[in-house]
């Protein structure tokens, strides 16, 4: 499995997010920063996820995809479009309830965008930032439906407990 890369671009307010290889947590803080910039632009009209070259995604990446869908709906950007042919990825998206948040197309010839995305510069997150990112992404996934809530409840609880312990420790040290 090739290590992951996130490529981004936009054309007249339609943003393209191309996930390449195995997209994991180490790319997600830069991706989250891109999401904030994307939604700060006045011309925002929608999002296309190109997953034709995706080998795998972790749950943190899925949480950020869901975050984009929720924020797009808030901005009247409609549902993001996911372009994906991989049966395993399509099953994953379906099993987690993404069909409620996104339009998913397995059409191999669908070139819904007219932009060549460029690699997103990704910096590895520090431990604190990574934990916060994982926690936020999994809270978003939990908010999608009851099944996800049950699936991720223990992880989120463990991360919250760890975060509280770190916060208490930093208060004592200051």
pLDDT digits (tens, 9 = 90+) for 52-61: 999 999 999 9
In a domain, 139, yes or no: no
In a domain, 146, yes or no: no
Q: Give the pLDDT score at 111.
A: 58
Q: What is the largest CA-CA distance in the chain?
A: 58
In a domain, 84, yes or no: yes
In a domain, 10, yes or no: yes
Number of domains in the chain: 1
pLDDT digits (tens, 9 = 90+) for 30-69: 888 899 999 998 889 999 999 999 999 999 999 999 999 9
In a domain, 167, yes or no: no
Q: Give the pLDDT score at 126.
A: 81
CA distance 66 to 137: 8
In a domain, 134, yes or no: no
Residue 45 CB: number of other CB atoms within 10 A? 16
Task: Spell out a b/e string for 127-158, using b for 16 or more CB atoms within 10 Å of the CB, else e.
Answer: eeebbbbbbbbbbbbbebeeebeebbeeebee
In a domain, 59, yes or no: yes
The closest alpha carbon to 43, from 12, 70, 74, 89, belongs to 12
* Domain with 22 in it: 5-122
pTM of the model: 0.88
Burial of 111 (0-12, 13-18, 19+ CB in 10 A): exposed
The first and second tokens of residue 118, run together, are 């460029």
The residue ranges of the chain whose pLDDT is under 50 are 1
What CATH number corresponds to the domain at position 79?
3.30.750.24
């Amino acid at each position: 499995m090739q290590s992951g890369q996130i490529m981004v671009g936009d054309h007249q307010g339609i943003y393209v997010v191309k996930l390449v290889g195995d997209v994991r947590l180490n790319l997600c803080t830069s991706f989250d920063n891109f999401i904030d910039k994307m939604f700060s632009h006045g011309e925002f009209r929608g999002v296309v996820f190109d997953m034709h070259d995706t080998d795998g995604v972790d749950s943190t990446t899925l949480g950020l995809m869901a975050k984009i869908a929720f924020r797009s709906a808030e901005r009247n950007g409609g549902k993001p479009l996911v372009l994906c042919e991989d049966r395993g990825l399509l099953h994953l998206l379906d099993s987690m309830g993404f069909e409620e948040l996104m339009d998913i197309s397995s059409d191999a010839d669908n070139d819904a965008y007219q932009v060549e995305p460029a690699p997103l510069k990704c910096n590895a997150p520090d431990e604190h930032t990574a934990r916060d990112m994982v926690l936020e992404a999994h809270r978003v996934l939990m908010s999608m439906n009851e099944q996800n809530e049950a699936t991720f409840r223990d992880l989120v609880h463990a991360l919250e407990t760890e975060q509280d312990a770190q916060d208490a420790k930093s208060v004592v040290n200051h």
